[in-house]
Structure 1
């Protein structure tokens, strides 16, 4: 089916990856509805911003904007895709109002909140036999007095990602690492001196380089059954304050698929009655031989184009479910590929594992690699010049911020 219009919520690299997926599979170009225009989707022929609404996160504005757009495109099937946590929450809150106008997969609001809020997610993990790092929480009232049940260093991150995304304070980072009580006190004071007043997650640090991480993307159908699950092994994470925890390069290889882990995640999603895309960040703990769950995002991950690059086009599973209503068995991705958003020179310089680097080199030579933001079908002068500048900037950014997860620039 090609006579439909993908409507993507957001304008970041995730949106661009989904637009590429739709174009590759169906030859259709997407539109975006967002609160702000980001450079990842600028000057693109694959996705155009149809509505730019700064107040889109307001409930009444969100519902009216999406329904007005749908009514203006009556007669064309519209496939709606959230590309950010906050948009998934809004979709879940308004899904009954949106159903007459859009085709989409989205859980009910309580299910989204149960898994998107990190301390809720950890409770669900405990109930399903999934390991996670030793964890405590603090809030705006008690953060000065909290006694940690584990030793430093400690990871500090927001429990409520959408709320944290909208706050500002000096030296803000997506994730902090405090090596001492003094650093902890300074970081938490800075966070709670901003508009962010929800809980913070305080977590034991799991040792190991970025390549000890695992990322899993899954799609659950309207019947709440897992239709696709794909595991990738990150080689390097981004280093900028806003990018910490995002991946710079991911290796897909069936050798890294852990059947027991994937089966647990499938059982978890199906038991939670999940619907649509889900994204897990996980780290392998060499001390115990366990995989520790970090978080679940209620959407495909920012780096989820790695799944399409490996030959499992994300848009296909969505369209065949919500638009074509085709039955499907579970698919476990099992092909080799290399995905990057950073230039390969950065990967080569900062990837410390020689075996993984040799594997990445081999895949690159074989042409089994893809770059998130470069698509030859979308090449034009403005986008090409921006792409070159952004790639060169990765060298500077990585050198400046490498290893810095403290309250400093």
Structure 2
């Protein structure tokens, strides 16, 4: 197979971009790392990165960013495959989808669908329409707001942004957990002052290991062709954070729920649905959808689903055979740096013991950053972290 189409990867300053570059580079695909700064882009240090580019900032200079992408594509002999590795890049691509599809190969064809799936409020409505369970939710502008919180949602509860990336950029956390009306009012005021829209949701009971994912690729007919399911063990920040120690686990019920939902809404490309299993009822609740390559992409690759390559092959006209991981591999994704921070907090709050942590570690790993075959990004990462610590 001759790879005429380049792969343009947006965001190499995080390990998601790094794993994407590696997943494509091992197949000889020409990879292009695009960032808005040459600072801390350790993913571009991979030996599998063919080209490094600096583009205008995707938010501060949005139109210039789009022009930059189009100008680059015009110079190529074949349309590149465009792969965003951060929610903010996805939002911009979705906004300019019709323009960009003239120059790039992109899985989604319906403008706005990725954004609706990312937005917590519109996702809640989509899921409800399709009969998928979601946590009970109250919107800030509803009548009898506080009465509904006390009778339907109850404390403690979470104040959740509709736009996660903007919220995380502002507050460095995914949600506000509140224990009473005073804390709720304070959280709402913070969100209001930051001009960020939020909703209030019930907390589904269960420890972090009740978090599961359905990871799937849907072809241009909006049919699931590749999939697996996973179970989170630890996340950071704890209880409401991102995966730092997650294992592949076969859970057929999640396929039944997740595949039907994604196909019903006409989704195309890769998606990861996060579910939480209610510790009291055993029912699975849809929490959110990631519409781009996710944190534990290296785990998916290790268990046999190379999502970036699956995407590339289908978009360039040579799709891979469908595949599902329907056994338990016992392999886990491990982001050591943040897992150490998570372990500290789990132990401090009494949610885990040191023995619990140690006994969990004896499993085959898929590392977030480290690769014996491609060590340079790891050295760049530690250099970056040492610089940050020194400045503090």
**1:93 is matched with which residue?**
95
Task: Report Cα offsets for 1:65-116 as digits up to 9, x if no partner.
Answer: 11111123x1155211122223223223333322332222124123223322
Contact kept, 8 Å, 1:17 with 1:305, in 2: the verdict is yes
Secondary structure at 2:361's aligned position in 1? helix
Using the TM superposition, give the Cα deviation of residue 5 of structure 1 relative to its aligned residue in structure 2, in angstroms: 2.0
Contact kept, 8 Å, 1:10 with 1:82, in 2: the verdict is yes
**Whole-angstrom distance in 1 between the partners of 2:314 and 2:302:** 21
Task: Report Cα offsets for 1:191-215 as digits up to 9, x if no partner.
Answer: 211242x3x1211112222111112
Of the three residues 133, 147, 152, the one matched with 2:155 is: 152
Scaled by the length of structure 2, the TM-score of the pair is 0.84
Secondary structure at 1:131's aligned position in 2? coil
**1:400 is matched with which residue?**
none
Instruction: Could you tell me which runs of 5 or more consecutive residues in structure 2 were left unpaired when the two chains were aligned.
Output: none
**1:337 is matched with which residue?**
331
Using the TM superposition, give the Cα deviation of residue 280 of structure 1 relative to its aligned residue in structure 2, in angstroms: 1.4
**Whole-angstrom distance in 2 between the partners of 1:207 and 1:323:** 44
**Whole-angstrom distance in 1 between the partners of 2:126 and 2:229:** 21
Using the TM superposition, give the Cα deviation of residue 153 of structure 1 relative to its aligned residue in structure 2, in angstroms: 0.3
Task: Report Cα offsets for 1:230-279 as digits up to 9, x if no partner.
Answer: 21111110128xx95211111113xxx22122122111111111011112
Using the TM superposition, give the Cα deviation of residue 58 of structure 1 relative to its aligned residue in structure 2, in angstroms: 5.0
**Whole-angstrom distance in 1 between the partners of 2:356 and 2:30:** 36
**Whole-angstrom distance in 1 between the partners of 2:18 and 2:303:** 17
**1:30 is matched with which residue?**
31
**1:312 is matched with which residue?**
305
Secondary structure at 2:159's aligned position in 1? strand
**2:137 is matched with which residue?**
135
**Whole-angstrom distance in 2 between the partners of 1:208 and 1:266:** 24
Using the TM superposition, give the Cα deviation of residue 323 of structure 1 relative to its aligned residue in structure 2, in angstroms: 0.8
**Whole-angstrom distance in 2 between the partners of 1:285 and 1:324:** 42
Contact kept, 8 Å, 1:35 with 1:56, in 2: the verdict is no
Using the TM superposition, give the Cα deviation of residue 144 of structure 1 relative to its aligned residue in structure 2, in angstroms: 8.5
Using the TM superposition, give the Cα deviation of residue 225 of structure 1 relative to its aligned residue in structure 2, in angstroms: 0.9
Secondary structure at 2:336's aligned position in 1? coil
Q: 1:160 to 1:361 in 2, by over 3 A?
A: closer
**1:270 is matched with which residue?**
263
**Whole-angstrom distance in 2 between the partners of 1:297 and 1:143:** 32
Deviates more, 1:118-127 or 1:296-305: 296-305
Task: Report Cα offsets for 1:3-28 as digits up to 9, x if no partner.
Answer: 2321112232221121121123x133
Of the three residues 268, 273, 298, the one matched with 2:291 is: 298
Q: 1:235 to 1:386 in 2, by over 3 A?
A: same
Q: Say if 2:389 is the partner of 1:386.
A: no
Q: Say if 2:179 is the partner of 1:176.
A: no
**Whole-angstrom distance in 2 between the partners of 1:207 and 1:165:** 24
**Whole-angstrom distance in 2 between the partners of 1:160 and 1:246:** 16
**2:367 is matched with which residue?**
371
**1:402 is matched with which residue?**
none
Using the TM superposition, give the Cα deviation of residue 35 of structure 1 relative to its aligned residue in structure 2, in angstroms: 3.3
Q: Say if 2:229 is the partner of 1:227.
A: no
Q: How many residues align?
A: 376
Using the TM superposition, give the Cα deviation of residue 326 of structure 1 relative to its aligned residue in structure 2, in angstroms: 2.8
What's the Cα RMSD here?
3.2
**1:403 is matched with which residue?**
none
Scaled by the length of structure 1, the TM-score of the pair is 0.81
Using the TM superposition, give the Cα deviation of residue 342 of structure 1 relative to its aligned residue in structure 2, in angstroms: 2.1
Using the TM superposition, give the Cα deviation of residue 288 of structure 1 relative to its aligned residue in structure 2, in angstroms: 1.0
